[in-house]
Amino acid sequence: MPRLIGAAQAVTSVSQDAVTTTFNSSGTLTTAQYTTQLQYLMIAGGGGGGGTNAGTMTVGTRGSASSIAGTPITTITSTGGGGGDTGAPSATTQQPGGSGGGGGRNLVGLGTANQGFPGGDGARASTAGTDVAGGGGGAGAAGGDFATSPVAKSGNGGAGVSSSITGSAVTRGGGGGGGSYYSGIVATGTGGPGGGGTGGSTQGGGPGTVATVGSANTGGGGGGFCEDSNNFNNFGGGGGAGGYRSSVPGEASGGGASAESTLTVVGSTPYTITVGGGGAGTPTISPSATTGGSGVVITKQPAVNITLASSCWDLRQVYRQVKADDWV
């Protein structure tokens, strides 16, 4: 005869569909009733491209961080992308970030571990028209270094990382291409796949190669930019991509890291989502622009299939469900 803990209860099966939510700006996520695990893709804002305009050299600004916070988790944060550097002779500091900003004068911005890669190297050449910058680091690859052969060229932005958290594969977190002096002589860097902006320059006082911003909600770095003023040191590194963190099983985080652990959360509970903005870039000549792309946070609450009952249980039923790892 079965022994009871109080009166025997009927078993009730409960199902809860998977829920994916995309935050293109900051907001609040309230978990569904039976959610206990949360997957995420979190990308910070990309860094702005560096460069020169009207004789003024400007280092790109780092992008803003993205984060998830709430009970019982410890706040997790992705770091904003590093701004692109300039060719200023006095430049002595690197521009680190989630992914590092592209170098101007041999100063490579470093990436944050498990979030992104460093920027590429830049250099001042000894003859007019051959000043070249590094590309901004991407979530999936380092920014490209400058080249002088077969032609002078600024580095391309580093590639981003693909994720299928929404059901479709999308690449985000590309670095910005390096800007260069005088587009008739020096090639600018292309933006990294995943929203990186293209590096730009002017030619003969008019439009040359147009610098472009990092794409919105990808964390892409802004392209570097340089005017043509017959002056050396006119080159600007591409902005680094925003820090890229993922806990989607089987996918990758930035910097070559594997996916992180999913978050343990509480059902029917609010969580604060912060989406970082892109960093400001060097001033440009229209239509060029060098701002980093804004970040994004995407969450996924996996489907739930559990067995529930209230109050008291038949001990044999308890045993069967514990053995089947279905005791809630």
Within this chain, do residues 309 and 298 fall inside the same structural domain, yes or no? no
Within this chain, do residues 131 and 263 fall inside the same structural domain, yes or no? yes
Residue 287 resides in a domain: yes
pTM score: 0.88
Within this chain, do residues 134 and 150 fall inside the same structural domain, yes or no? yes
Residue 36 resides in a domain: no
In angstroms and rounded to an integer, the radius of gyration of the C-alpha atoms of the chain is 25
Contact (CB, 8 A) for 148 and 212: no
Question: What pLDDT does 24 receive?
Answer: 98
With 90 as the cut, is the pLDDT of residue 273 above it? yes
Within this chain, do residues 26 and 9 fall inside the same structural domain, yes or no? no
Q: How much of the chain exceeds pLDDT 70, in percent?
A: 83
* Number of domains the chain is built from: 2
Within this chain, do residues 229 and 215 fall inside the same structural domain, yes or no? yes
Within this chain, do residues 56 and 167 fall inside the same structural domain, yes or no? yes
pLDDT tier for residue 1 given thresholds of 50, 70 and 90: very low
Within this chain, do residues 274 and 310 fall inside the same structural domain, yes or no? no
Q: State the SS3 of the chain.
A: CCCEECCCCCCEEEEECCEEEEECCCEEEECCCCCCEEEEEEECCCCCCCEEECCEEECCCCCCCEEEEECCEEEEEECCCCCCCECCCCCCCCCCECCCCCCCCCCCCCECCCCCCCCCCCECCCCCCCCECCCCCCCCCCCCCCECCCCCECCCCCCCEEECCCCCCEEECCCCCCECCCCCCCECCCCCCCCCCCCEEEECCEEEECCCCCCCCCCCCCCCEECCCCCCCCCECCCCCCCEEECCCCCECHHHCECCCCEECCCCCEEEEECCCCCCCCCCCCCCCCCCCCCEEEEEECCEEEEECCCCEEHHHHHHHHHCCCCC
Q: Is residue 100 exposed (0-12), middle (13-18) or buried (19+ Cβ within 10 Å)? A: buried
Residue 74 resides in a domain: yes
Within this chain, do residues 13 and 58 fall inside the same structural domain, yes or no? no
Q: Is residue 268 exposed (0-12), middle (13-18) or buried (19+ Cβ within 10 Å)? A: exposed
Residue 317 sits at φ, ψ, to 5 deg, of: -65, -40
Rounded CA gap, 123 and 220, in Å? 23
Within this chain, do residues 296 and 170 fall inside the same structural domain, yes or no? yes
Question: What pLDDT does 164 receive?
Answer: 98
Q: Look up residue 306 and give its amino acid.
A: I
Within this chain, do residues 171 and 316 fall inside the same structural domain, yes or no? no
Neighbours of 216 (CB within 10 A): 18
Residue 35 resides in a domain: no
**Residue 297 to residues 66, 96, 250, 254, 274: CA-CA distances in angstroms?**
7, 22, 18, 14, 8
Contact (CB, 8 A) for 117 and 140: yes
Residue 328 resides in a domain: no
What average pLDDT does the chain have?
A: 86
| Comparison of pLDDT for 93 and 265, the residue scoring more | 265
**Residues 177-211: tens digit of each pLDDT:** 998 876 566 788 999 999 999 998 876 555 578 89
**Residues 218-232: tens digit of each pLDDT:** 999 999 988 765 555
User: What are the residues whose beta carbons fall under 8 Å from the beta carbon of 206, sequence distance 6 or more?
Assistant: none
Which residue segment(s) compose the domain that 56 sits in? 21-30+41-302
Within this chain, do residues 137 and 279 fall inside the same structural domain, yes or no? yes
Of 25-39, 174-188, 309-323, give the range with the top mean pLDDT.
Answer: 25-39
Within this chain, do residues 149 and 293 fall inside the same structural domain, yes or no? yes
For the record, the structure tokens of 198 come out as 């293209």
**Residues 101-157: tens digit of each pLDDT:** 777 666 677 899 999 999 998 876 544 456 788 999 999 999 999 887 777 888 999
Q: Look up residue 180 and give its amino acid.
A: S
